[in-house]
Amino acid sequence: MSMASEMHVSIRLPGSLLYHGTATRLNAEGPQGAFGILPNHVDFVAALVPSVLLLTEADSTERVFGIDEGVLVKKGHGVEIAVRGGVESANLASLHETVGKFFAGVEDEERVARSALSRLEADMVRRFAGLRGEPRP
């Protein structure tokens, strides 16, 4: 494998792409603790825990992501990260607020989905009850 000064990184959510670009360094956290990856790091797979993921781009810009649990796969000069949920923040200081807003939005969406499911279940029960009362041919 050739020596590289950057690696290609993709951070994927279940329905979208959170980040795709190049990086010179990546810091993440797994069940055994925090770890860092440089472009020529050995290939490996790691589980990720809910934590902060730091990514340094070639121009020294640091990108900060709050992530849920997931999986990181490093192969060659590419890093693929799949997480259940994640959000990018402007900086580490504002990450707490950004993550709070993100999860508040997720809770609202889940509440609406649960309400819709309850209405569907109630309608189905009413229809089944109506079937019992109908005369059979």
**24: nearest Cα among 74, 72, 59, 67:** 59
Task: Judge whether 27 lies within some domain.
Answer: yes
Number of domains in the chain: 2
Residue 81 sits in a domain whose CATH number is 2.60.15.10
> Based on the domain organization, do 66 and 23 belong to the same domain?
yes
> Based on the domain organization, do 87 and 101 belong to the same domain?
no
What is the spatial distance between Cα 35 and Cα 46, in angstroms, rounded to a whole number? 10
> Based on the domain organization, do 67 and 86 belong to the same domain?
yes
**Domain range for 109:** 94-137
The sheet carrying 62-67 orders its strands as 33-37, 25-30, 51-56, 62-67, 86-89
Per-residue pLDDT tens over the stretch 54-113: 999 999 999 989 888 899 999 999 999 999 888 887 666 666 666 666 666 666 667 777
Q: pTM of this prediction?
A: 0.69
> Based on the domain organization, do 77 and 137 belong to the same domain?
no
